[in-house]
Amino acid sequence: MIELSTSRILILGAGYGGLVTATRLQKGLNYNEAEVTLVNKYDYHYLTTWLHEPAAGTSHHERAKVDLNEVLDTKKINFVQGTVESIEPDNKKVKLEDGTELAFDYLVIGLGSEPETFGIEGLKEHAFSIRTIDSVRMIKEHIEYMFSRFNNEPDRRDYLTFVVGGAGFTGIEFVGELADRIPELCREFDVDPNLVRIINIEAAPTALPGFDPELVEYAMDVLKRKGVEFLINTPIKECTPDGVILANGEEIKAGTVIWTGGVRGNHIVEESGIDVMRGRVKVDEYLRAPGYEDIFVVGDCSLIINEETDRPYPPTAQIATQQGFNCAENLIALIRGGELKPFKPELKGTLASLGRGEAIGVIGNKKLLGSSAAIMKKLSDLRYLFILGGISLALKKAKF
Known catalytic residues?
Answer: 173
DSSP-based three-state secondary structure for 370 = coil
Residue among 374, 342, 380, 335 nearest 358 (CA): 374
Amino acid at 175: V
DSSP-based three-state secondary structure for 169 = helix
Amino acid at 258: I
| Beta partners for residue 357, in sequence order | none
User: Distance from CA of residue 35 to its chain's centroid?
Assistant: 28
First to last CA, the chain: 59
CB atoms within 10 A of CB 264: 20
How far apart CA 65 and CA 58 sit, in angstroms, is 15
How far apart CA 221 and CA 215 sit, in angstroms, is 10
User: Distance from CA of residue 61 to its chain's centroid?
Assistant: 15
Residue among 232, 233, 146, 242 nearest 196 (CA): 146
**Cβ–Cβ under 8 Å, residues 170 and 260:** yes
Residue among 149, 172, 185 nearest 57 (CA): 185
